[in-house]
Amino acid sequence: MATCPGSTMNRIDVFWHEGMLKHYTGNGVFDTGIDPGFLDVLEKHPENSDRVRNMVSILKRGPISPFVSWHPGRPATIPELLSFHAPEYINKLVETDKGGEKMLCAGTFLNPGSWDAALLAAGTTLSAMKHVLDGHGKVAYALVRPPGHHAQPTQADGYCFLNNAGLAVQLALESGCRKVAVIDIDVHYGNGTAEGFYRSNKVLTISLHMNHGSWGPSHPQNGSVAELGEGEGYGYNLNVPLPNGTGDRGYIHAFNELVAPSIKKFEPDMIVLVIGQDSSAFDPNGRQCLTMEGYREIGQIVRNLATRHSGGRLLIVQEGGYHVTYSAYCLHATLEGVLNLPQPLLPDPIAYYPEDEAFSVKVIEAIISYLKDEVPFWRTA
Ligand SMILES: [Zn+2]
């Protein structure tokens, strides 16, 4: 594969619209929006525009910039949203937007400007998917906020209103793709995407996440290995809850032994990589301890899976990632991996935690053994 800068063979088409910065999430104690009255300094909500401004700037001015081609985003239309979401839920969001500020569930604020940003995130992700479907590029990245993977067909959750990746998957299916695989490495369970395709055998959803369980009425799913899908979709939702502190080696072990074989058995004609840098070692919202090296290797593995199984077609969708500087670095590393570059372009400025892979490897082996017992397509060697 050619790796010369700007080559159409090896470039990433990034879709972005600055209107997404207008989603204002407020200040408080972390993500609560609450001022307890006894703190001198409150902090920005973790899902703030600064994190995404740094992701944009590192791709524009970092060493990866020659490999990046920029494309404009656009708002989704209401009918487009109905491929994944229920009309009653969308009507509720439209009405809530007219009413001004509102917290839809814990940490999830629909403020003036938020709905327009959510429509831009959904539409921009659809544009990125369409770009790949139309053959204008092989690898597209939707750099979007608010995030989407917790948004269920009828429910906002975890800073998410519209399921950007889920909408893109629906577009792929409606455009003739037979099977789509979604690999979600955000540190939280991609419960919204899983819920949307829980009864489908056309979409394989794989989520690697912290073992955080349910966090309330907006997020009833546990993300456990036993949540395998239902009906025709049984076995097509693979949850990989990983122990805290899993780290680079544990994630790579899970990718090599569990994710890659699943993709090989499923044979998708499109792969969607859902990324959140909140699985990094320094994220305030996660405990999984990935470093740039791990993200780089994951990017490389997924690119190779796309080359082998989906004709190279890969859509990458941005989700969480709340450390304002390190998230940008980890994104840079992930995309370096996706580009299959022979050498890292950017050194890791802060990785210094030692890793202990012994426990995570045991957990991953147990998950594989469970899948072999329970999931039909895992039974064959
Ligand atoms: Zn997350």
Q: Does 3 reside within a domain? A: no
Ligand 1 mean position, distance from CA 278 (Å)? 6
Structural domain boundaries enclosing 50: 12-379
pLDDT band at 340 (very low <50, low <70, confident <90, very high): very high
Ligand 1 mean position, distance from CA 148 (Å)? 10
Distance CA 20, CA 39 (A): 30
Ligand 1 mean position, distance from CA 368 (Å)? 24
Mean pLDDT of the region 349-373: 92
Residue whose token pair is 């320094």: 282
Q: What is residue 96's three-state secondary structure?
A: helix
Residue pair 138/182 in contact by the 8 Å Cβ criterion: no
Q: Does 197 reside within a domain? A: yes
Ligand 1 mean position, distance from CA 289 (Å)? 14
Distance CA 199, CA 1 (A): 38
pLDDT band at 17 (very low <50, low <70, confident <90, very high): very high
Distance CA 24, CA 133 (A): 33
- The CA-based angle 259-260-265, given to 5 degrees, is 100
Distance CA 286, CA 14 (A): 26
pLDDT for position 3: 39
Using one digit for the tens of pLDDT, what is the confidence trace for 226-278? 999 999 999 999 999 999 999 999 999 999 999 999 999 999 999 999 999 99
Ligand 1 mean position, distance from CA 275 (Å)? 9
Q: How many other CB atoms are there within 10 angstroms of residue 219's CB atom?
A: 22
Residue whose token pair is 């063979």: 9
Residue pair 71/14 in contact by the 8 Å Cβ criterion: yes
Distance CA 340, CA 359 (A): 29
> With a threshold of 0.95, does the pTM exceed it?
yes
Q: Does 365 reside within a domain? A: yes
Distance CA 209, CA 185 (A): 7
Could you say which of 85, 150, 219, 309 is catalytic? 150
**7 pLDDT above the threshold of 90:** no
Q: Are strands 314-318 and 139-142 parallel, antiparallel or unpaired?
A: parallel
pLDDT for position 214: 96
CATH code at 353?
Answer: 3.40.800.20
Q: Does 1 reside within a domain? A: no
Q: Does 6 reside within a domain? A: no
- Tokens standing for residue 364: 């991953």
Q: Is position 17 annotated as part of the catalytic site?
A: no
Mean pLDDT of the region 184-202: 98
Ligand 1 mean position, distance from CA 135 (Å)? 30
Q: Does 2 reside within a domain? A: no
Using one digit for the tens of pLDDT, what is the confidence trace for 109-128? 999 999 999 999 999 999 99
Q: How many domains does the chain have?
A: 1
Q: Does 4 reside within a domain? A: no
Q: Does 322 reside within a domain? A: yes
